A = this chain, B = another copy of it.
């Protein structure tokens, strides 16, 4: 693939004033990077025609590919169509099929199209509309000639993230790949890991994360969970799928012991529920100290398709200040061991497993440790009346410390399961 440079333009007062955080640009930067495009500039501009026009002119001059989001709505604030037309020095003209499509969108909702929505069917001469299956605003695909005889290709997409993402995946990504004449298809596959640091993971993967590798492997970290994103491009979807599967196997050979599942939003608690559903067992969570994220996470899993069961894997969660309170809840004397308490609670609620987090550390920094953190003990009450436990010092940035502790607890619980729940 030839070297393609890109600029991403984000349009709207709400971004310029800081009222809304621009996440579209981050998403587009990641996707373009995966396609091998060299993103060089992001520009955000308010809903002002002259500024918009200038921004499109500058972008078309310095980037091969310009992806804009926002400003395609039907109101007077929506100036992207005019701005692109002005920057090209061409008038807008009505595109009849787009108008018919917008009218049909309103008809399906049993409403008449307001006159102002007609503006959404106006395109600069020479532009191709981009189909928007979810909304009334079609996108714009147009080429801007440059002084040196080359041209820049501009794609304008709506600002609504769901519409923008669909249109990028369905239209822009294939077009970018198609500029190479082959490899028009693209397949994404995300693998999840816990228990290994980012630099360790990079070392294990070695050449696999080279930017020019095919399929490409990208690494991102979110609250101590590592995601590896395999992006395969090819002439057919089958070719993408098979290249992706080979890469996946290679990754499992290098870092399989930390792998717990596939999918953008798949986390360890999904892996735990999946395993418990399979073996028909149930889990009680006891969280002590200054947080209780696990109760919230496991409650939410019950709502996700594919994770339900006749007897739900999650019995419930208890959040308490400390072990003394745990003894009181379990109805035990003040000198009772933690194991006795967990055993009593497990029986009372008919759980097979209990995971105790003792305890979520303070978010305050100490002189000893520049990052907040502390000693945390994870104790599991297993169905065979064993109580495997581990004590670790865990520290992290305050914004992710409690999530990190919770995930370390789930990592320990998964190690205590008799079979490897990851299914590797």
Q: A40-B16, A43-B41, A46-B40 known; A362 and B303 CB under 8 Å?
A: yes
* A303→B41 contact, CB < 8 A: no
A390 within 8 A of B: no
* B303→A363 contact, CB < 8 A: yes
Smallest Cβ distance from A5 to chain B, in angstroms? 10
A287–B302 Cα distance when bound, in Å, is: 14
A318–B42 Cα distance when bound, in Å, is: 46
Count class of interface residues, chain A: 35 or more
* A16→B29 contact, CB < 8 A: yes
- Residues of chain B lying within 8 A (CB to CB) of residue A51: 40-41
Interface mask (A49-78 → B, CB under 8 Å = 1, otherwise 0): 001001100100010000000000000000
Which residue of B55, B299, B321 is within 8 Å of A287 (Cβ)?
B299
A325 within 8 A of B: yes
A99 within 8 A of B: no
A278–B419 Cα distance when bound, in Å, is: 51
A45 within 8 A of B: yes
Q: How many copies does the complex hold?
A: 2
Task: Tell me what chain A mostly uses at the interface: helix, strand, loop, or mixed.
Answer: mixed
* A319→B303 contact, CB < 8 A: no
* A16→B39 contact, CB < 8 A: yes
* A292→B292 contact, CB < 8 A: yes
Interface hits, A286-325 → B, CB 8 Å = 287, 289-293, 295-296, 298-300, 302-303, 312, 314-321, 325
A341–B241 Cα distance when bound, in Å, is: 54
* B291→A296 contact, CB < 8 A: yes
Contacts A292-B292, A314-B321, A329-B348 given; 8 further ones with Cβ under 8 A?
Answer: A21-B21, A21-B23, A22-B22, A41-B46, A54-B62, A303-B364, A316-B319, A319-B319
A residues apposed to B, CB below 8 Å: 10, 15-19, 21-23, 25-30, 33, 39-46, 48, 51, 54-55, 58, 62, 220, 285, 287, 289-293, 295-296, 298-300, 302-303, 312, 314-321, 325, 328-329, 348-349, 360, 362-364, 402
List 19 interface pairs A-B (beta carbons < 8 Å), by A numbering.
Answer: A16-B29, A17-B33, A18-B33, A18-B39, A21-B23, A22-B26, A40-B48, A40-B51, A285-B319, A290-B300, A291-B299, A292-B299, A292-B319, A295-B295, A295-B319, A315-B325, A316-B318, A328-B349, A329-B349
